[in-house]
Amino acid sequence: MAKKNPKSEIRPFRKIMKLIRTLTPNQVKEIVSSPETKRPPALPMPKVFKIKDPNEFFIKLHSSIDERVEASPDKSWDILNVSEKALMAVYELEGEVNNGGFEQYFFNSAGDHAVEAVPGFLRIGAIKMADIVRRALAVYPGDAPSSNREVRWEQTDKIENKAAPIWSALTSEFLAYPENPTYLAFAYCQKHRADFGI
């Protein structure tokens, strides 16, 4: 099988992301607030902790925490404790990388919390995954991207030729799953129930 060129794989993604950047805030608000993007209310945390399936648990846990963040005045993770931040960072990074690789993660709003990701993976015991994420972050100046999305886009534009093949390789490494963050997160939450009000 011929080796794929990482640049050719992500070129369409870059075009789409650059097009998205041209949307006005009102256009983005209209898309985000459309009925198709509305999600059902999150479960209360005691009901989340009754879920036995780790995958369903992690999804519902994220929804419950995210609903609290969205309801807060400044929609900031500052209202979360260390465990909640760790789980949010792990969930969001895993979802973005699964969907479109590290380049998508850093492009989207989930990348605003990139500095929380390595500590998050370490907190749940995913040492190998934390190392992969650390190497993806290290492509940026100062070993971390900006938490400001527009600044991060500018940073990424400056390093994209160097970053693209590195992120492509690290995405493949991540998706080989040397550890299962969902199961590790589930086990962590069961041991630290008090951190989630249980």
- Return the domain boundaries, the chain: 43-196
The stretch 170-185 carries a mean pLDDT of 97
Top-confidence residue, 41 or 194: 194
Output the pTM of the full model.
Answer: 0.81
> Domain 43-196: which topology?
A middle domain of Talin 1 (1.20.1420)
Please tell me the predicted confidence (pLDDT) of residue 1: 42
Q: What is the pLDDT of residues 74-93, one digit of tens each?
A: 999 999 999 999 999 999 99
In angstroms, the CA 156 to CA 136 distance is 12
Q: Give DSSP secondary structure letters for the chain.
A: -PPPPHHHHHHHHHHHHHHHTTS-HHHHHHHHTSGGG--PPPPPHHHHTT---HHHHHHHHHHHHHHHHHHSTT--GGGS-HHHHHHHHHHHHHHHHHHHHHHHHHHSGGGGGHHHHHHHHHHHT-HHHHHHHHHHHTTSGGGS--SSHHHHHHHHHHHHHHHHHHHHHHHHHHHT-SS-HHHHHHHHHHHTGGGGT-
Top-confidence residue, 32 or 7: 32
Please tell me the predicted confidence (pLDDT) of residue 27: 65
The Cα-based distances of 2 to 5, 10, 11 in angstroms read 9, 17, 18
Q: How confident is the model at residue 29 (pLDDT cuts 50, 70, 90)?
A: low
Please tell me the predicted confidence (pLDDT) of residue 42: 83
> Is it the case that residue 47 has pLDDT exceeding 90?
yes
The stretch 172-192 carries a mean pLDDT of 97
Please tell me the predicted confidence (pLDDT) of residue 2: 43
